């Protein structure tokens, strides 16, 4: 497997293209923006899924564009669908004063697995940032959205956030293999090993 990382949008959010190097099947993760480089990458692969780690507006803002380019379904955790589709909950009305939503076509639940070409992906429910946030775990990387980022963690003061739930979710992530790349919603790609050593919020 391999992935490409792109940064853009109003809050410098990250979008990832996870792909199988042999089949060219791919998933686009958290499309909060669109730029020429990302659009070119999307066109180079067979995009099978548009995966949302959570429903905050800055991570879903261009899901409809990716769907228009690829016809791939937009996927979220089953309990996150209401937040994705509600501008009063996902932060857009509060922060931008206009509505941003996405339509969720398919839902998954904790523990579900699916394939992207030959890549096995497992869904891990990681509430805290939002009640229905999740991470996508592969053999080489974990796509964490805003739950765990480069030496930081997500905020819990927005709708459906829960600080205690976030701490439990971080403990679940820390139990994963240390070699995994941490592909967060903002900041640089790190590893679980480095997060354990250097992230000041992980001193349980």
CB atoms within 10 A of CB 33: 21
pLDDT at 204: 58
- For 167, counting Cβ atoms within 10 Å of its Cβ (0-12 exposed, 13-18 middle, 19+ buried), the class is middle
Per-residue pLDDT of the chain in tens (204 residues, 90 and over written 9) = 999 999 999 899 999 999 999 999 999 999 999 999 999 999 999 999 999 999 999 999 999 999 999 999 999 999 999 999 999 999 888 878 889 999 999 999 999 999 999 999 999 999 999 999 999 999 999 999 999 999 999 999 999 999 999 999 999 999 999 999 999 999 999 999 999 999 999 875
Domain that holds residue 157: 2-202
Domain count, the chain: 1
User: pTM of this prediction?
Assistant: 0.97
How many angstroms separate the Cα of 115 from the Cα of each of 9, 19, 118, 193?
A: 29, 11, 6, 26
pLDDT at 203: 76
Give the separation between CA 187 and CA 190, rounded to whole angstroms: 9
DSSP E strands in the chain: the ranges are 2-8, 13-19, 25-29, 46-51, 74-77, 106-108, 113-116, 119-125, 134-137, 141-145, 148-149, 152-153, 181-184, 190-191
Domain CATH code at residue 68: 3.60.15.10
């Amino acid at each position: 497997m391999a992935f490409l990382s792109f940064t853009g949008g109003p809050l410098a959010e990250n979008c990832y293209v996870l792909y199988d190097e042999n089949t060219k099947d791919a998933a686009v993760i958290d499309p909060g923006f669109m730029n020429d480089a990302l659009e070119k990458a999307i066109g180079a692969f067979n995009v099978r899924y548009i995966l949302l780690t959570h429903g905050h507006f800055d991570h879903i803002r261009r899901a409809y564009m990716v769907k228009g380019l690829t016809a791939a379904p937009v996927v979220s955790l089953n309990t996150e669908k209401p937040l994705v589709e509600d501008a009063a909950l996902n932060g857009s009305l509060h922060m931008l004063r206009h509505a941003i939503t996405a339509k969720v076509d398919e839902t998954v639940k904790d523990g579900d697995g699916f394939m992207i070409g030959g890549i096995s992906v497992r869904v891990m429910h990681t509430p805290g940032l939002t009640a229905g946030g999740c991470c996508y775990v592969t053999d080489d990387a974990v796509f964490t959205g805003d739950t765990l980022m480069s030496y930081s963690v997500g905020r819990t003061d927005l709708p459906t956030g829960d600080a205690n739930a976030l701490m439990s979710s971080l403990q679940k992530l820390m139990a994963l293999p240390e070699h995994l790349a941490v592909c967060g919603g903002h900041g640089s790609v790190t590893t679980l090993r480095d997060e354990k050593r250097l992230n000041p919020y992980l001193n349980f």
